[in-house]
Amino acid sequence: MALKVLILGANGFIGSTLTEQILANRDWQVFGMDISDDKLGDSLKDPRFKFVEGDITINREWVQYNVRKCDVILPLVAIANPLQYVKDPLRVFELDFEANLTIVRDCVKYKKRLLFPSTSEVYGMSPDSVLDEETSSLVYGPIEKQRWIYACSKQLLDRVIYAYGVRDGLDYTLFRPFNWIGPRLDNLLDAKEGSSRVFTQFLSNVLHRKPIQLVDGGKQRRSFTYVGDAIDCLMRIIENKDGCASQQIFNIGNPASDLSVAELAKQTIEVCAEFPQFKHLAEAATVVSVDAGTYYGKYYQDIQARVPSIKNAKDRLGWAPSTDLRTAIRHTLQYHVQRGEVNFA
């Protein structure tokens, strides 16, 4: 019998890419729910994909029914944009924590395998130069710094899931995305400042002739991870050969792509210049510095460096990332060019 995978938030960045890859490369069935379907494209036409437009907090019966029916559950519904953490922290708590706790409990009740998206943010301002799933401390700032409500919500769910594993034998995997990037991360066509994660924001700024803004000068670093590599890792976790991913935590990131935000700006402009239709925009691109208080407000606090240890993923899943940042930027632009979506003046 083909594996049945339930993806809540199937239209998100991870959900839509994962759905597409499963349908293209496996014989599994996918059941999906999301409040919209604009990123799902041809997946919607596939008979192995059963999609329902709905809200996981309202369509409870559908969710429970499908948790019972499926083998593997991925609750991917969450707000994952730092500007939202500081603007609407209670909404982040309600959706990322409360709504997902309900799904976690459904998985416990029906004894289903749960693949839960933790986050690189759970490490917060950990002093470790390389972040390890088992040994690194999780370090956050004062309560006033509301940014941490996202990391706290995710961390507490990690702890709840772990405890269900210990007490009830819940079969789970916690995976921690480290700045996954690529097509569909955010809406490239939405030029609004702060509406996107930095990868899409910088591309969007170049294409819309807006200055790239380096928050506090752009010295902070991230390990940018191409979504194609990341989804390959997720597929291995879903497959779970000989239980290799059960009751495990995996950082999914690219330590070789540990770069400053200023370097990201530079490479974004350089790769845009490789495309004849964007060359003039790349040549006109400007980069400015803005302080974090002005960009995000007083509830923000940043993370200066974030490099994953991927030893556990290498050892247990045989996985390693292979795509560098330039290639990831190229793939993202090509994706939009192929769809004729980017006709910028």
Q: Is 158 in the site for ligand UGA (CB under 6 A)?
A: no
Min dist CB 120 to ligand UGA, Å, is 4
Smaller CB separation from ligand UGA, 97 or 178: 178
Q: Is 100 in the site for ligand UGA (CB under 6 A)?
A: no
Min dist CB 59 to ligand UGA, Å, is 25
Among 46, 94, 263, 302, binds ligand UGA (CB under 6 A): 302
Alpha carbons 322 and 326: distance in angstroms, whole number: 12
Q: Is 215 in the site for ligand UGA (CB under 6 A)?
A: yes
Which of the residues 114 through 133 are near ligand UGA (CB under 6 A)? 119-121
Smaller CB separation from ligand UGA, 170 or 214: 214
Q: What is the 3-state secondary structure (H, E, C) of the chain?
A: CCCEEEEECCCCHHHHHHHHHHHHHCCCEEEEEECCCCCCHHHHHCCCEEEEECCCCCCHHHHHHHHHHCCEEEECCCCCCHHHHHHCHHHHHHHHHHHHHHHHHHHHHCCCEEEEECCHHHHECCCCCCECCCCCCCECCCCCCCCHHHHHHHHHHHHHHHHHHHHHCCCEEEEEECCEECCCCCCCCCCCCCCCCHHHHHHHHHHCCCCEEEEHHHCCEEECEEHHHHHHHHHHHHHCHHHCCCCEEEEECCHHHEEEHHHHHHHHHHHHHHCCCCHHHHHCCCEEEECHHHHHCCCCCCCCCCCECCHHHHHHHCCCCCCCHHHHHHHHHHHHHHCCCCCCC
Binding region for ligand UGA (CB under 6 A) out of 33-41, 125-133, 217-225, 278-286:
217-225
Alpha carbons 51 and 34: distance in angstroms, whole number: 8
Smaller CB separation from ligand UGA, 16 or 120: 120
Which of the residues 16 through 75 are near ligand UGA (CB under 6 A)? none
Smaller CB separation from ligand UGA, 67 or 333: 333
Q: Is 184 in the site for ligand UGA (CB under 6 A)?
A: no
29 forms beta bridges with 4
Among 261, 271, 272, 333, binds ligand UGA (CB under 6 A): 261
Q: Is 221 in the site for ligand UGA (CB under 6 A)?
A: no
Min dist CB 176 to ligand UGA, Å, is 8
Min dist CB 119 to ligand UGA, Å, is 4
Min dist CB 172 to ligand UGA, Å, is 19
Q: Is 86 in the site for ligand UGA (CB under 6 A)?
A: no
Q: Is 12 in the site for ligand UGA (CB under 6 A)?
A: no
Among 213, 254, 257, 309, binds ligand UGA (CB under 6 A): 213
- Site residues (vs ligand UGA, CB under 6 A): 80, 82, 119-121, 177-180, 197-198, 201, 213-215, 218, 220, 222, 261, 302
